[in-house]
Structure 1
Amino acid sequence: MSDADDLAAFREEIDGVEREAAKRIDPGTGALTIALAVMAILVSLVLPWINGVSGLRVLLGEVQAFVPRLFAFFALGVGVVGSGLTLAVRRWGLAWVCSLGLFAASVIGVLSIWSQQTTTSNKSVGPGPGFGLVLAVIAVIVLLVKWLRIAASRPPHL
């Protein structure tokens, strides 16, 4: 009876290890792309976003631009902090949270570019987005694609 109990305990331990491994992700070489996109977001914060004003100043609220400021919060929060945390702990759930947050950030980012191209006056066009804003939106979209691929790559039986 002792051998059967030992075998059952051993089987339970193996099943526990399998369940724990199923919760983890392995980004593989995609981690480098994620790190480069995160770096691009950080660099974009010092580049001009709106009328020559840097992304960091937009984030701090020095410019009255609601949509670009909201995008800056999403890009920094989900794109930088969320991606870093997810790469550190490597959990499936966090990969999905990053994917959903980056989807919202990409939509807000495209809206912030659009909001800089239009104005309430019909006599002139908007000032146009700065290079930093465009770089940040592209980096967020790259992160979205990478995290979505990683999150969706989980085998269906786990």
Structure 2
Amino acid sequence: MTESDDEMREEIDEVGRRVARTVELGGRAVVVAVAVFVLLIGLILPWMNGASGLDVLIGQESGKASMVPRLFAATAVLFGVLTSALALTTRRWFFTWVGAAGGWFASVDGVLAIWSRQSSGTDVGIGLVIAEIAMVAIAIQWFRTAASRT
């Protein structure tokens, strides 16, 4: 073997390692991007007592019954928006797995947020419901993508 063969083999191995770290999203990227957009719309619509999801996130809507919706707003922004944006731009498997696990947590938290609003006898705003549906869609897409790694 010559020096150039060793260099070529090393270059090929480096390309293989780089490809193994990245994920090919295909059509799922569009579905995730649209779901993130819907989630952002849900965050600006009313969640409870006329307060938007962003108001709930920053704490302008206070009270006992607003803690679970506030946690959902935080996890939806963290895992639904930020992690999805990182996964879509970097195409790293790590962010795909974080999106899947965090999306599951945020989805369950969203169900609890809706339930806590209903059980306290207060209104559930349309934004909260839209945000939950979008978060479930995001979580499903990240789970399907993470599960496709062989």
Q: TM-score range by the shorter chain?
A: over 0.9
Gaps of 5+ in 1: 120-125
**Stretch moving more, 129-138 or 146-155:** 146-155
What's the TM-score, normalizing by structure 1? 0.88
Q: Give the aligned residue type for 2:11.
A: E
Check conservation: 1:45, 1:55, Cα contact below 8 A: yes
Q: Give the aligned residue type for 2:135.
A: V
User: Which of residues 137, 148, 151 in structure 1 aligns to 2:143?
Assistant: 148
Aligned to 1:116: 117
Superposition misfits of 4+ residues, deviation over 2 angstroms: 3-6
The alpha-carbon deviation at position 4 of structure 1 amounts to 3.3
Does 2:48 match 1:47?
no
The 5 Å alignment of 1:9-158 reads 9-64=7-62, 65-119=66-120, 126-155=121-150
Percent identity (aligned): 46
In structure 2, distance between residues paired with 1:11 and 1:154: 25
| Count of residue pairs brought into register by the alignment | 147
Larger Rg computed on CA atoms: 1
Partner deviation per Cα, 1:56-81 (whole Å, 9 max, x = no partner): 11111011210000100111111111
The alpha-carbon deviation at position 6 of structure 1 amounts to 2.5
In structure 2, distance between residues paired with 1:42 and 1:93: 23
What's the TM-score, normalizing by structure 2? 0.93
The alpha-carbon deviation at position 55 of structure 1 amounts to 1.1
Check conservation: 1:113, 1:128, Cα contact below 8 A: no
In structure 2, distance between residues paired with 1:45 and 1:113: 14
The alpha-carbon deviation at position 32 of structure 1 amounts to 0.9
Q: Secondary structure at the match of 1:49?
A: strand
In structure 2, distance between residues paired with 1:152 and 1:96: 9
Greater fraction helix = 2
The alpha-carbon deviation at position 128 of structure 1 amounts to 3.3
